[in-house]
Chains A and B, each alone.
Chain A
Amino acid sequence: MAADHREHITVDGNEAAARVAHKVSEVIAIYPITPASPMGELADAWSQGGVKNIWGVVPEVVEMQSEGGAAGAVHGSLQAGALTTTFTASQGLLLMIPNLYKMAGELLPLVIHVAARSVATHALSIFGDHSDVMAARQTGMALLASGSVQEAQDMALISHAATLRTRIPFLHFFDGFRTSHEVSKIEAVSEDMIKAMIDDDLVVENRLRGLDPDRPVLRGTAQNPDVFFQAREAANPFHAAVPDVVREEMQRFAELTGRRYLPFDYHGHPEAEDVAIIMGSGAGAVVEAVDQINADGGKAGVVIVRLYRPFDTAAFAEVLPSTTRRIAVLDRTKEPGSPGEPLYLDVVAALDRTADSESRPLVIGGRYGLSSKEFTPPMAVAVFDELHADAPRREITVGIIDDVGHTSVVAEAEWHEPATVKRAVFYGLGSDGTVGANKNTVKIVGASTDLHAQGYFVYDSKKSGSTTVSHLRFSPDPIRSAYLISEADFVGVHHFGAFERGGVLDVAGPGATLLINSPYDADGTWENLPGETQQMIIDKGLDVWIVDGGAVARESGLGRRINTVLQTCHFHLSQLLPPEEAVTAIKDAIKKTYGKRGAVVLERNIAAVDAAVGALVRLDVPAAAKGTKQIRPPVPEHAPDFVQRVTGRIMAGEGDLLPVSALPVDGTFPTGTTKWEKRSIAPEIPIWDAEICIDCARCALVCPHAAIRLKVVPEAELAGAPDSFVHKSWKDPNDATARAIIQVAPDDCTGCGVCVAICPAKSKEVVKHKAINMTPIDTFLERERQNFEYFLTLPEKSRTSIKLETVKGSQLAQPLFEFSGACSGCGETPYLKLLTQLMGDRMVVANATGCSSIYGGNLPTTPWATDDAGRGPAWANSLFEDNAEFGLGMRLALDSQAAAAKGLVEALASDIGPLAAALLEEPEIHDEEWIAAQRGRVDDLRSWLLEHPSPEADHLASMAQHLVDRSVWLIGGDGWAYDIGFGGVDHVLASGRDVNILVLDTEVYSNTGGQTSKSTPRAAIAKFSAGGKATAKKDLGMIAMAYGDVYVAHIAMGANMTQTVKALTEAAAHPGPSLVIAYSPCIAHGIDMTDMMGHQKMAAASGYWPLYRFDPLRESEGDHALHLDSRKPTIPFKEFASTEARFSMLARANPEAADELMMMAQQDIDDRWHLYEQMVEVEHTARFGIVDEEDDV
Chain B
Amino acid sequence: MDLQTTYLGLDLKHPIVASSSPLTGNADGLRSLEKAGAAAVVLPSLFEEQVEHDAFAREHELHGTGGFAAEAHEGFIPLYDDYNSGVDDYVKTLQMAKQELSIPVIASVNGTSAGGWTEYARTLQDEGADAIELNVYYVAADIDATAADVEKRYVDLVRDVRDAIDVPLAVKIGPYFSSPANMARQLVDAGADALVLFNRFYQPDINLEDLTVVPNIVLSSPGDMRLALRWIAILRGRIDANLAATTGVHDADGVVKLMLAGADVAMMTSAFLQHGPEHLTSVLDGVRSWFEERGYDSLEQARGSLSQASVPDPSAFERANYMMALVSYAP
Please list the residues of chain A having a beta carbon within 8 angstroms of any beta carbon in chain B.
34-35, 37-38, 41, 45, 126, 177, 181, 428-431, 433-436, 457, 459, 461, 463, 466, 468, 559, 594, 596-601, 603, 762, 767, 1004, 1006-1010, 1021-1023, 1025-1026, 1082-1084, 1086, 1141-1142, 1145, 1148-1149, 1151
Q: Which residues on A sit within 8 Å (CB–CB) of B212?
A: 767
Residue in B71, B78, B80 whose CB lies within 8 Å of A1007: B71
Do A429 and B68 touch (CB < 8 A)?
A: yes
Residues 78-107 of chain B: 1 if any A CB is under 8 Å from the residue's CB, otherwise 0?
111111111101000000000000000000
Q: Let me know if B51 is at the binding interface, CB within 8 A.
A: yes
With A and B bound together, what is the CA distance between A954 and B62 in angstroms?
60
Determine whether the beta carbon of B55 is less than 8 Å from that of A45.
no
Please pick, from A433, A1010, A1021, A1149, the residue contacting B72 in the complex, using a CB distance under 8 A: A1010
Residues in chain A near residue B76, CB distance under 8 A: 1004, 1006, 1009-1010, 1023, 1082-1084, 1086
Contact, CB under 8 Å: A1148 / B68: no
Q: A429-B68, A598-B59 are in contact. Are A1009 and B74 (CB under 8 A)?
A: yes
The 22 sampled A-B contact pairs (Cβ below 8 Å) are: A41-B74, A181-B73, A430-B67, A430-B69, A431-B67, A463-B68, A466-B69, A468-B68, A596-B85, A597-B55, A597-B58, A598-B56, A762-B211, A1008-B72, A1009-B73, A1026-B78, A1084-B77, A1086-B61, A1086-B77, A1141-B61, A1145-B58, A1145-B77
Q: Which residues of A contact B159 (CB under 8 A)?
A: none
B85 touches A435 (CB 8 A): no
Q: A1025 to nearest B CB, angstroms? A: 8
Q: Which chain B residues lie closer than 8 Å to A1004 at the CB level?
A: 76
The answer to whether B237 has its CB under 8 Å from any CB of chain A is: no
Q: In the complex the two chains form, is A45's CB within 8 Å of B78's CB?
A: yes
Partner among A600, A1025, A1145 whose Cβ is within 8 Å of the Cβ of B80? A1145
Q: Is the CB of A466 within 8 A of B58?
A: no
Chain A residues near B74: list those with CB within 8 A: 38, 41, 1009
Q: Report the bound CA distance from A599 to B82 in whole Å.
A: 13
A1007 to B69, CA, bound (A): 9
Question: Top 9 A-B pairs ranked by shortest CB distance?
Answer: A430-B68, A598-B55, A1009-B72, A1010-B76, A435-B67, A1084-B76, A1141-B61, A459-B70, A1026-B78
Q: Is the beta-carbon distance between B211 and A1149 smaller than 8 angstroms?
A: no
Return chain B residues, CB-CB under 8 Å to A1026. Answer: 78, 80
Contact of B84 with A1023 in the complex, beta carbons under 8 Å: no
Q: Are B68 and A767 in contact (CB under 8 A)?
A: no
Q: How far is A1142 from B62 in the complex, measured between Cα atoms in Å?
A: 10
| Contact pick for A599, options B73, B81, B119, CB 8 Å | B119
B-chain residues with CB within 8 Å of residue A1145 when the two chains form the complex:
58, 61-62, 77, 80, 83
A601 and B77 contact, Cβ closer than 8 Å, known pairs A177-B70, A468-B67, A767-B211: no
Cβ–Cβ contact A1151 & B71, under 8 A: no
- A431 close to B56 (CB less than 8 A): no
A1022 to B58, CA, bound (A): 15
Closest to A600 in B: B52
| Distance between Cα atoms of A126 and B84 in the complex (Å) | 37
Closest approach, in angstroms, between the C-beta of B47 and any C-beta of chain A? Answer: 12
Query: Which residues in A have their C-beta under 8 angstroms from that of B62?
Result: 597, 1141, 1145
Cα A594 to Cα B81 in complex, Å, equals 9
List chain A residues, Cβ under 8 A from B64: 431
Residue in chain A with minimal CB distance to B68: A430
CB closest chain-B residue, reference A181: B73
Q: Are B67 and A436 in contact (CB under 8 A)?
A: yes
Minimal Cβ-Cβ distance residue in A for B69: A463
A45 to B72, CA, bound (A): 16
Query: In the complex, given contacts A1004-B76, A1083-B65, A1145-B62, what are 5 additional A-B residue pairs having Cβ atoms less than 8 angstroms apart?
Result: A436-B67, A459-B70, A1009-B73, A1026-B78, A1141-B57
Are B67 and A597 touching (Cβ within 8 A)? no
| Given known A-B contacts A430-B67, A1084-B77, A1149-B80, A598 and B58 have beta carbons under 8 A apart | yes
Q: How many residue pairs bridge A and B at CB < 8 Å? A: 145
Tell me the complex Cα distance, A599–B87, Å: 9
The verdict on B66 contacting chain A, using a C-beta distance below 8 Å, is yes
Contacts A459-B73, A601-B56; A1023 near B78 (Cβ below 8 A) = yes
Q: Which residue of A lies closest to B88 (CB)?
A: A1148
Contact code string B34-61 (vs A, CB < 8 Å = 1, else 0): 0000000000000000011011111101
Q: In this assembly, does B29 line the interface, its C-beta being within 8 Å of a C-beta of chain A? A: no
Q: CA–CA, A1008 to B80, complex, Å?
A: 19
A1028 to chain B, nearest CB (A): 10
Q: Provide the main secondary structure of the chain A interface.
A: mixed
With both chains docked as a complex, state the minimum distance between the C-beta of B270 and any C-beta of chain A, in angstroms: 24
User: Residue B63 at the A interface, CB < 8 A?
Assistant: yes
Could you say which residues of chain B place their CB within 8 Å of the CB of A601? 55-56, 59
* 8 A Cβ contacts from B93-132 to A: 115-116, 119
* Interchain CA distance A457-B119 in the complex, whole Å: 40
Q: Are B55 and A436 in contact (CB under 8 A)?
A: no
Cα A1022 to Cα B61 with chains together (Å) = 12
Q: Identify which of A429, A431, A1007 gathers the most chain B CB atoms within 10 Å of its CB.
A: A431
> Quick check: is B75 within 8 A (CB to CB) of the other chain?
yes
Cβ of A188 to closest chain B Cβ, rounded Å: 19
Contact A1148 B70 (CB under 8 A): no
Q: Flag if B56 contacts A459 (CB, 8 Å).
A: no
Q: Would you call B69 and A459 a contact (CB within 8 A)?
A: yes
A655 CB, nearest partner CB in chain B, Å: 16
CA distance A780 to B29 in the complex (A): 56
A468 to B70, CA, bound (A): 9
Instruction: Report which of B51, B61, B68, B81 forms a contact with A466, defined as CB distance below 8 A.
Output: B68
Best-buried of A181, A459, A1004, A1008 by chain B (most CB within 10 Å): A459
Question: In whole angstroms, how far apart are the Cα atoms of A430 and B64 in the complex?
Answer: 10
For B211, what are the chain A residues with a Cβ–Cβ distance below 8 Å?
Answer: 762, 767
Q: Is the CB of B55 within 8 A of A600?
A: yes
| Alpha-carbon distance between A483 and B238 when the two chains are bound, in angstroms | 79
Known: A597-B55, A1007-B71, A1151-B84. A1141 touches B77 (CB 8 A): yes
Chain A residues closer than 8 Å to B65, beta-carbon distance: 431, 1083-1084
Please measure, in the bound complex, the distance between the C-alpha atom of A434 and the C-alpha atom of B66, giving whole angstroms.
10
**A600 touching B51 in the complex, CB below 8 Å, given contacts A430-B69, A463-B69, A468-B67:** yes
Question: Which residues on B sit within 8 Å (CB–CB) of A45?
Answer: 78-79
Find chain A residues with CB under 8 A from B57 CB.
1141
- A1166 vs B55: C-alpha distance when bound (angstroms): 33
In the bound complex, how far is the Cα of B75 from the Cα of A506, in angstroms? 30
Task: List, in ascending order, chain A residues with CB within 8 A of B56's CB.
Answer: 559, 598, 600-601
C-alpha spacing A892/B54, complex, angstroms: 54
Contact A596 B51 (CB under 8 A): no
B contact residues around A181 at 8 Å (CB) = 70, 73
The residue of chain B having its C-beta at the shortest distance from the C-beta of A596 within the complex is: B82
For residue B113, give the distance in angstroms from its CB to the closest CB of chain A: 9
* CB-defined contacts of A1084 to chain B, threshold 8 Å: 65, 76-77
Write the nearest CB–CB distance from A255 to chain B, whole angstroms.
36
What's the nearest-Cβ distance from chain A to residue B37, in Å?
30
Contact B71 A1148 (CB under 8 A): no
Give chain A residues whose Cβ lies under 8 Å from the Cβ of B86. Answer: 598
A126 touches B70 (CB 8 A): yes
Alpha-carbon distance between A41 and B72 when the two chains are bound, in angstroms: 11
Residues of chain B lying within 8 A (CB to CB) of residue A1010: 72, 75-78
* Complex: chain B residue closest to A1026, CB-CB: B78
Residue of A nearest to B116 (CB): A600
Complex contacts, B68 vs chain A, CB 8 Å = 429-431, 459, 463, 466, 468
A94 to B69, CA, bound (A): 25
Q: CB distance B71 to A1008 under 8 Å?
A: yes
Closest approach, in angstroms, between the C-beta of A135 and any C-beta of chain B? 22
Give Cα A436–Cα B62 distance, bound, in whole angstroms.
13
A1014 CB → nearest B CB, Å: 18
Report how far A174 CA is from B74 CA in the complex, Å. 20
Chain A residues with Cβ below 8 Å from B87 are 598-599
Q: Is the pair A1149, B59 in contact by a Cβ cutoff of 8 Å?
A: no
Bound-complex Cα distance A791 to B57 (A): 40
Bound complex: CA A1084 to CA B68 (Å): 13
Beta-carbon nearest neighbor of A563 in chain B: B67
Residues of A within 8 Å of B80, CB to CB, are 1026, 1145, 1148-1149
